[in-house]
């Protein structure tokens, strides 16, 4: 049976290790936050871009595409 002896880490090494761990956690958290904000921004703008596409189709006189879009929207709302 092996007995492990753990040598105490000197205080001068402990603090920089703790700081580096905290910095790594901060980087991960900041990255997750940034991705979440980008996702929120994309979802907020999704309705605008969908409406913009519909308005372009309407302005170009593309009635068939508008009818397909309207029927798909009705179908989606009925499923909910």
Q: Is the CB of residue 54 less than 8 Å from the CB of residue 69?
A: yes
d(CA 38, CA 42): 6
When divided into structural domains, the chain yields a total of 1
> Does 9 fall in a domain?
no
What pLDDT, in 10s, does the model give residues 8-33? 667 777 888 889 999 999 999 999 99
- pLDDT band for 76, please (50, 70, 90 cuts): confident
> Does 6 fall in a domain?
no
> Does 4 fall in a domain?
no
> Does 46 fall in a domain?
yes
Domain that holds residue 68: 19-79
What pLDDT, in 10s, does the model give residues 52-74? 887 887 788 878 877 887 887 77
> Does 12 fall in a domain?
no
User: Which tokens belong to 15?
Assistant: 């603090």
> Does 3 fall in a domain?
no
């Amino acid at each position: 049976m092996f007995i492990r002896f753990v040598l105490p880490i000197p205080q001068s090494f402990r603090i920089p290790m703790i700081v580096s761990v905290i910095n790594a956690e901060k980087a991960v958290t900041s990255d997750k936050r940034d991705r979440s904000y980008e996702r929120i921004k994309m979802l907020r703008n999704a309705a605008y871009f969908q409406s913009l596409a519909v308005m372009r189709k309407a302005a170009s006189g593309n009635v068939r595409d508008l009818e397909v879009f309207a029927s798909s929207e009705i179908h989606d709302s009925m499923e909910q």
